[in-house]
Structure 1
Amino acid sequence: MSATPRTPRTVLITGTSSGIGLSAAVAAARAGWHTVATLRDTTRAGALREAAAEAGVTLDIRQLDVTDETSVTAAVDGVIADHGRLDAVVNNAGAGHLGTLENDAMDDVRDVMEVNFFGVLNVSKAALAHLRATGGRLVTVTSVGGVIGQPFNEAYCAAKFAVEGYMESLAPVARTLGVSVSVVEPGAVATEFVNNVGVDLNADIAAGPYSDALRRYIDRATEQFLKADVQTSAAAAEAVMEALHADRPAFRIQTSDWARTFVGTKLADVDGSAVQDLTATWIA
């Protein structure tokens, strides 16, 4: 008598129009997951569909706006209705922002928090009961900027710090009910993310007393993201797969040796001087 086939596991991934989210969606489908690839604007799914076709995999592509609780609830309920289960969530949707406190409008800072922090909470809250039912996994793509504050990234790093603190606090609570919680921390990744940070470089560099320091920061960041050996989104997505497949995934998973070294600077820096000395060189 043949064994009953195992029902494929289902994963929901946010922010899959490009970058790590796109690569993780394709990698998960290739690994045998029912992959629900979500994005705020489904008209931007062209690259995702092409990547899936090239890999010979099928994706369930759906609309989900992480800042809209109604959209989140509808997406999660739809996954349960159509697939019957939810075994993992990968919170990947996010938005960059360059600016500094004196120049930023407070509404802009709130928008950054809404997408990068509250959006993660919206999706995670909607999914947790279903993850409890399957002993599932909650994975959130943060950033090395969730560990080390970086010049002109105050709002972005604040949101990522908040996510890391929330998930670090949630992890032992969720574990008592069989849910694994991890954060994935990329460093510099060759994606469109760096081109979508919501800043008019010409206008912002020319404005105000911070223009010289901002220009130095942007020059350094541009050089870093254009390096031939910068990590690809596919390589970074391997860390997401580790969080999904490891028997006991670590809470904090970096995507590269560079990211591990960089994060390690902070974790060993009791008085904060090492980080301040390091990041000051980026704008001095």
Structure 2
Amino acid sequence: MNHKHMESSAMSNKTVLITGTSSGIGLATAVAAARGGWHVIATMRNTAKAGALLAAAEQAGVTVDVRALDVTDPASVEACLSGVDRLDALVNNAGAGHVGTLEQESVDDVRAVMEVNFFGVLHVTKAALPLLRASRGRVLTVTSVGGVVGQPFNEAYCAAKFAVEGFMESLAPVAATAGVSVSVVEPGAVASEFVSNVGLTDDAAEQAGPYAPALANYLNRTRNAFANAQTAEDAAERILGLLDAERPAFRLLTSDAARAFAGVKLKDLDGSAVQTLTAGWVNP
């Protein structure tokens, strides 16, 4: 029996719940984890959208357990988690991008972004923690390099991801005393439906009033960045490595580009390096 197969066999009795698995990183992580020997509970808000996941799982020769879970609905979270007997890992992946700037949107728009990307993570993590304490398991939360570096026209999204990062960084030492490890996963640009779901169109720039030139420059830069994006499958393999790690690190940056980008902030003691970097995105 080779080493890789032995690892898979060891994982076969372990269960991971992954949110947001209908597409992108969530879908790829669900398939990668199942291939790695995990029992995968793959959740999504609308299970009618499970077709792509089920097809990918079938092609990979694995099975996943698809269940409904809306991270913004505490009753949905409770109903889903109450049907789980054992849980060894949680991957908080569900989230939604958002492009906009404060003067041109409502505070309610910002609040909605926080509900999905921040409070949704809290709802699921809170419900999962008793099970994870019992198994001495782990929490992995997919944030973004946008949880480290504030980015133009991503004010609400980055605020939510900053909040998640601060929450998890603070929770980690507390959870560790109860045997639960906490990690954040920070992808950069990943080729997935995430971009199209944000609605990056030229019309948006034309309607941006005094911010039109800046938004046009931002959109052009963003399209170029995602043209050279990391694949969801590659990001998923990095996440699987963290799932299987004996001692998972707190922070996982999933690509060289993500490490370089986040590194600007992580060693930027006075904030000038980040401001210089992002100013060029909107005023080349």
Q: Which of the five TM-score ranges fits, normalised by the shorter chain?
A: over 0.9
Listed as ranges, the gaps of 5+ residues in structure 1 are: none
Alpha-carbon distance between aligned partners in 1 of 2:164 and 2:139, rounded to the nearest angstrom: 13
Q: Which of structure 1's runs of 4+ aligned residues deviate more than 2 A? A: 198-201, 203-207
Separation in structure 2 between the aligned mates of residue 193 and residue 44 of structure 1, nearest angstrom:
15
2:42–2:67 Cα contact (<8 Å) kept: yes
Amino acid at match of 2:222: A
Tell me: CA distance 1:201–1:114, structure 2 relative to 1, closer, same or farther (3 Å): farther
Are the counterparts in 1 of residues 208 and 215 from structure 2 also a CA contact under 8 Å? no
On the 8 A contact 1:15/1:93 being kept in 2, the answer is yes
Q: Tell me, in whole angstroms, the C-alpha distance in 2 between the residues paired with 1:208 and 1:122.
A: 37
Looking at structure 1, the residues matched to 204 and 234 of structure 2 have their Cα atoms a distance apart, in angstroms, of 34
Is the aligned partner of 1:277 residue 2:282? no
| Match of residue 5 from structure 2 | none
Q: Is the 8 A contact 1:67 1:119 kept in 2?
A: yes
Aligned-pair CA distance for 1:205:
3.0
Residue 96 of structure 1 aligns to a residue whose secondary structure is coil
Query: Are the aligned partners of 1:10 and 1:86 in contact in 2 as well (CA < 8 Å)?
Result: yes
Aligned-partner Cα distance in 2 for 1:204–1:111: 22
Q: Is the 8 A contact 2:97 2:157 kept in 1?
A: yes
Q: Where does structure 2 lack aligned partners over 5 or more consecutive residues? A: 1-8
Q: Which is richer in helix? A: 2
Of residues 64, 67, 74 in structure 1, which corresponds to 2:79? 74
Identity, % of aligned pairs? Answer: 67
Whether contact under 8 Å (2:70, 2:76) holds in the other structure is yes
Which residue of the partner structure matches residue 249 of structure 2? 250
Amino acid at match of 1:153: N
Contact in 2 for aligned 1:97/1:199 (Cα 8 Å): no
Q: 2:31 is matched with which residue: 14, 26, 46?
A: 26
Could you tell me how far 1:215 is from its partner in structure 2?
0.6
What is the CA–CA distance in structure 2 between the aligned matches of 1:92 and 1:205, rounded to whole Å?
32
Kindly state the Cα deviation for residue 204 of structure 1 after the two structures are TM-superposed: 4.7
Q: RMSD in angstroms over aligned alpha carbons?
A: 1.3
Q: TM-score, normalised by structure 1?
A: 0.94
* Paired residue secondary structure (1:20): helix
For these two proteins, the number of residue pairs brought into alignment is: 274
Task: Give a deviation string over 1:204-241, Cα, whole Å, max 9, x none.
Answer: 533310011001100110111123xx210010112211
Please tell me the residue identity of whatever aligns with 1:97: H
User: Residue 45 of structure 1 is aligned with which of 50, 55, 80?
Assistant: 50
Letter in 1 for 2:23: S
CA distance in 1, matches of 2:138, 2:121: 14
The C-alpha deviation readout for 1:122-158, integer Å capped at 9, x for no partner, is 0000000000000001000000000000000000000
Asked if the contact 1:146/1:157 (under 8 Å) is kept, the reply is yes
Find the aligned partners of 1:275 and 1:260 in 2 and give their Cα distance.
14
> The residue matched to 1:95 in structure 2 has which SS?
coil
Task: Please tell me whether the aligned partners of residues 184 and 239 of structure 1 are also in contact (alpha carbons under 8 angstroms).
Answer: no
Q: What is the match of residue 211 of structure 1?
A: 212
- The match for 2:235 is 236
Partner of 2:41: 36
